Copies of this chain bind each other. A is one copy, B any other.
Amino acid sequence: MSNTKTIIGESLPNIPWQDKPVGCTDVVWRYSKNPVISRHASPTADSIYNSAVVPFKDGFAGVFRCDNRARNMTLRRGFSKDGIKFEIDDEPIKFICDDPEIGNFIEGYDPRVIKIGERYYINWCNTYHGYTIALGYTDDFETFYQLENITLPFNRNGVLFPRKIAGKFAMYSRPSDSGHTPFGDIFYSESNDLEYWGKHRFVMGAKKNGMVNWEMTKIGAGPVPIETTEGWLIIYHGVITTCNGFTYSMGAAIVDIDKPWIVKYRAKTHLLTPEEIYELTGNTPNVVFPCAALTDADTGKIAIYYGAADTSTGLAFSQVDELIEYIKMNSEL
């Protein structure tokens, strides 16, 4: 693929990549050797999934959801040279935090890592009298700091935008409840200082019209929004409820570059849905849960990491122009 310049961002010539298989008409396709991270990549792990990868130095770093064999959810650090083979720590990340009231949390899960300037911010879902959106950062993937929680409980699937918008930090999140929530929409919030948040705006919700069912129950933000010439490219997950529970699929939308609560296009179809055995079976059957995306501005390549069946981590690919074109052509707000 030639230089597209649609993605507004950095070059990433070493992005993990595999060309689309011949004959495939999908805009998102799987890596042929999935899962890239198996459930036992760390010897004490029960499962490794819903994980966040970013470019770091001449390779990649990441924060990984790693459930141990007590099924306790932990955040682990990992490194990779090629974005495919990962070394993952056997111990959870220890965050430095001034205030033990929030620093002593029991569980953290579903991390996102967002580079803003030269700092790597981390959002995750943690426990503070219910699940809420936590915020931390690291400058070197050696020392990690935890800041104030961004919201009151109950909230999940928070992810910062990769730059300030109109001078403010911006975030998506999904207000929630205390259980396996059967509802959920994406909201926007902003902040001057990453500590005090406001101007909450509804962005988009589960589809209740009876026409778009794959995301009828709830939706939640996935990877860090990708800045493009067409607006922010949002890759997210949507959930349908069958008589046998939830199925999580991947979808995408494009929102306004300056007012990210305004949805310009939203694909009415899923882009990746559980079909492979490692997505259909595992700790939670039928889950495709995107959490991170790498992009190469020179070529428009996108590599998406996603949790598979709450058990292992898969990798999928897309090409930005083709993906945006698809979203526009199949859009239904």
Chain A residues near B (Cβ < 8 Å) = 25, 39, 43-44, 46, 67-73, 101, 106-107, 127-130, 132, 148-155, 173, 175-178, 180-181, 183, 185, 187, 189-193, 195-202, 205, 209-214, 216, 240-247, 268-270, 273, 275, 277, 280-286, 310
Q: How far is the CB of A282 from chain B (nearest CB, A)?
A: 7
A195 and B199 CA atoms in complex are apart in Å by 7
Query: Once the chains bind, are B242 and A200 in contact (CB under 8 Å)?
Result: no
Residues of B near A187 (CB, < 8 A) are 129, 152-153
- Residues of B close to A177: CB separation below 8 A: 154, 176-178, 181
Question: A214 — which chain B residues lie within 8 A by C-beta?
Answer: 46, 69-71
State whether A286 touches B244 (Cβ < 8 A): yes
Indicate if the CB atoms of B245 and A243 lie closer than 8 Å: yes
> Considering only CB atoms, which chain B residue lies closest to A280 in the complex?
B281
Please give, as numbers and ranges, the residues of chain B lying within 8 Å of A72 by CB-CB distance: 210-213
Q: How far is the CB of A309 from chain B (nearest CB, A)?
A: 9
Q: A127-B210, A280-B281, A283-B286 are in contact. Are A175 and B153 (CB under 8 A)?
A: yes
Contact B70 A129 (CB under 8 A): no
- Contact (Cβ within 8 A) A68 B243: no
Q: How far is the CA of A161 from the CA of B192 in the complex (A)?
A: 23
In addition to A46-B273, A277-B277, A280-B281, 17 A-B residue pairs with Cβ atoms within 8 Å of each other are A44-B269, A69-B214, A70-B212, A106-B209, A106-B210, A106-B211, A128-B200, A128-B202, A149-B200, A152-B187, A152-B200, A154-B175, A180-B243, A191-B198, A244-B285, A277-B281, A281-B285
Inter-subunit contact A269/B70 (CB<8 Å): yes
- Does the CB pair B244–A243 fall under 8 Å? no
Q: Measured between alpha carbons, how far is A244 from B196 in the docked complex, in Å? A: 36
B200, A151: Cβ atoms closer than 8 Å = yes
Nearest B residue (CB) for A39: B275
> A153 — nearest CB in chain B belongs to which residue?
B175
Instruction: Contact check, A213 vs B71: say whether CB atoms are below 8 A apart.
Output: yes
Q: How far is the CA of A175 from the CA of B205 in the complex (A)?
A: 20
Kindly list chain B residues whose C-beta atoms are within 8 Å of the C-beta of A39: 275
What are 27 A-B pairs at a CB distance below 8 A?
A39-B275, A67-B213, A69-B273, A71-B212, A71-B216, A71-B240, A71-B270, A72-B210, A72-B212, A127-B210, A128-B200, A128-B202, A151-B152, A153-B175, A153-B187, A190-B196, A195-B199, A196-B196, A196-B197, A242-B283, A242-B310, A244-B285, A247-B283, A280-B281, A280-B282, A280-B285, A281-B285
